[in-house]
């Protein structure tokens, strides 16, 4: 039995090695199979740089006091949120709020050291998050108020764009304490 096993194993080994030797000497004209590209959609990816230009234009418009230019990329149903929980709904209400604020409260405002990141969210990480294009921005605000006081602080802003490339949601993160201190007489 032991001799039969050794003989059978040796025969298999010989046949196996013999077949490999035949394949090694054979010319293979066929190209190796290429693995199919991974077509799985990423959860998020970089969005078009045109959104960065839109964000920069918005800041320039706000600095110059051109509120109509600033809201020109807003959808009629846009909502502007602050991290404090306050919000303004609708393009008309957002325009009225910022026109009043820019003419009656803010003497001058400028933005510097801005960083922009356009992101397309294909699959939100939580049910309440909106898919689509987001423009994330970080910048320094330097504002002088009608009180004669000034305020400098960093801000973060998130713009969400609808299917027509109009801003339908804004979330601005900033510290209200220095603003409140600068706006009181």
21, two tokens: 């030797």
Binning pLDDT at 50, 70 and 90, where does residue 129 land? Answer: confident
Q: What is the pLDDT of residue 96?
A: 98
Contacts of 170 (CB under 8 A, 6+ apart): 78, 79, 80, 81, 157, 158, 159, 160
- Exposure string (b/e) for 130-158, b if CB count within 10 Å is 16 or more? eebbbbbbebebebbbeeebebeeebebb
Is 156 in contact with 147 (CB distance < 8 Å)? no
Average pLDDT over residues 78-105: 97
Q: List the chain domain ranges.
A: 44-183
Q: Across the beta sheet with 44-46, what order do the strands follow?
A: 44-46, 106-121, 132-145, 150-161, 167-173, 74-82, 87-89
Distance CA 23, CA 120 (A): 49
Q: What pairing do the DSSP bridges indicate for beta strands 106-121 and 87-89?
A: unpaired
For the entire predicted model, the pTM comes to 0.77
Q: How confident is the model at residue 109 (pLDDT cuts 50, 70, 90)?
A: very high
Exposed / middle / buried, residue 25 (Cβ in 10 Å: 0-12, 13-18, 19+): exposed
Report the CATH architecture of 44-183: Roll (3.10)
Helix, strand or coil, per DSSP, at residue 143: strand
End-to-end CA, the chain: 106
Mean pLDDT of 18-24: 49
pLDDT for the residue 41: 85
| Confidence band, pLDDT 50/70/90 cuts, at residue 10 | very low
SS3 (DSSP) at 53: helix
Question: What mean pLDDT is predicted for residues 14-23?
Answer: 46
What pLDDT is stored for residue 9 in this prediction?
Answer: 36
107 with 86: CB under 8 angstroms?
A: no
């Amino acid at each position: 039995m032991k001799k039969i096993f050794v003989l059978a194993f040796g025969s298999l080994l010989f046949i196996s090695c013999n077949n490999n030797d035949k394949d090694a000497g054979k010319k293979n004209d066929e190209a190796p199979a290429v693995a199919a590209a991974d077509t799985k959609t990423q959860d998020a990816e970089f969005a078009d740089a045109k959104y960065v230009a839109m964000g920069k234009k918005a800041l320039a418009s706000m600095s110059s006091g051109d509120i109509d230019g600033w809201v020109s990329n807003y959808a009629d149903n846009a909502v502007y949120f602050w991290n404090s929980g306050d919000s303004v709904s609708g393009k008309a209400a957002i325009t009225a709020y910022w026109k009043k604020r820019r003419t009656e409260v803010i003497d001058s405002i400028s933005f510097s050291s801005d960083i922009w990141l356009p992101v397309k969210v294909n699959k939100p990480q939580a049910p309440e998050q909106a898919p689509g294009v987001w423009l994330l921005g970080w910048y320094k605000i330097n504002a002088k108020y009608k009180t004669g006081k000034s305020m400098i602080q960093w801000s973060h802003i998130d713009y969400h764009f609808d299917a027509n490339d109009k801003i339908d949601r804004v979330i601005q993160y900033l510290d209200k304490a220095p603003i409140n201190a600068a706006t009181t007489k």
